[in-house]
Homo-oligomer: A and B are copies of this chain.
Amino acid sequence: MSDRVRAVRIRDCEIGGPELVVMAGPCAIESRDQIFQAAEVVARSGARFLRGGAFKVRTSPSSFQGLGWEGWRLLREAADANGLLTVSEILDEGQIGEARRHVDFAQVGSRNMQNVPLLKAIGRSRMPVMLKRGFGCTIDEWVHAAEYILREGNQDVVMCERGIRTFETATRFTLDVAAVPIAKARLSLPVVVDPSHAAGTREWVESLTLCGVACGADGLLIETHPDPAKALSDGPQAVVLSDFPALMEKARRVAEALGRTVPIGPRVGVA
């Protein structure tokens, strides 16, 4: 299906081409030690992007809200030291200037999918952007949200399916795997899958990761943490960092069965 997609290039990486692009790291950047540990392991396992939030949109104002600018500096440093690119969420237009220095790939979060001023600002910025699907939004609304960005002249848009809200409570959200081929057919843009937020519990992340590959996603966005029990955000759904290489190995086998590749080993010096 990827032949119908116009790939998005971010530095030396192409999303929507033959490679399955893996983005991994903690939900929130918490400390230098944490993000460097994560970067080292995910790079070694074939990931291309280090993920990590510096400005967190949390359901409750009492929850940890992120390290802010300092978080982005640490993310950049850890990524650079391991040959990785960076992906991180931007909450409002005022953050874009600083983001350009630290973030290679901007993320619009699920709760902001219909925040039109933000979509337009990201559009004007021309930063490559990953548009997460709103958990209460239809595929049709998600496509229209992308059009707000595209209309401003920014064509570097990657869609991200991360689960929708349904009556089932055994998982945090229900991963809508069919949305991947449908969004591709509608927009010809690359689509990646976030298995972590859908699962809500690490026990089910492996199955959803493999489904992401199987439904034709062009990439994966996975949360992993050196010590999830101590995570300040979304610990229960983070894959234990020491288990991450085995997960990647399984994903690679399924990807290869479908004619896609996942790079092996670290890429220090390449990016």
Residues of A within 8 A of B (CB): 57-62, 91-92, 111-112, 114-117, 134-141, 144, 147-148, 151, 164-171, 174-182, 185, 198-199, 203-204, 207-208, 210-211, 213-216, 250, 253-254, 256-258
Residues on B with C-beta less than 8 A from A171 are 178, 182
Q: How many copies does the complex hold?
A: 4
Contact pick for A60, options B91, B144, B177, CB 8 Å: B144
Measured CB to CB, the closest approach of chain B to A86, in angstroms, equals 22
**A62 nearest in chain B by CB position:** B147
Known: A178-B199, A207-B215, A213-B214. A60 touches B167 (CB 8 A): no
Closest residue to A141 on the B side, CB-wise? B59
Cross-chain contact A61 with B147 (CB below 8 angstroms): yes
Q: Which of B112, B137, B140, B254 contacts A257 (CB 8 A)?
A: B254
Q: Does the CB pair B140–A170 fall under 8 Å?
A: yes
Distance in Å: Cβ of A4 to nearest Cβ of chain B: 12
A111–B198 Cα distance when bound, in Å, is 21
A214 CB contact (under 8 Å) in B91, B170, B211: B211
With the chains together, A139 CA to B111 CA distance in Å? Answer: 15
Q: Of B138, B204, B215, which is within 8 A of A210 by CB?
A: B215
Contact B215 A169 (CB under 8 A): no
- Given the known interface contacts A169-B138, A170-B179, the answer about A61 and B151 at a Cβ–Cβ threshold of 8 Å is yes
A54 to B35 alpha-carbon distance, docked (Å) = 44
Q: What B residues does A258 contact at CB under 8 A?
A: 210, 250, 253-254
Decide: B181 and A204 in contact? CB cutoff 8 A: yes
Closest to A217 in B: B207
Extra A-B contacts (11), CB below 8 Å, given A135-B136, A177-B177, A177-B207? A59-B114, A59-B141, A138-B168, A138-B169, A138-B170, A168-B179, A170-B179, A174-B178, A178-B199, A210-B215, A211-B214
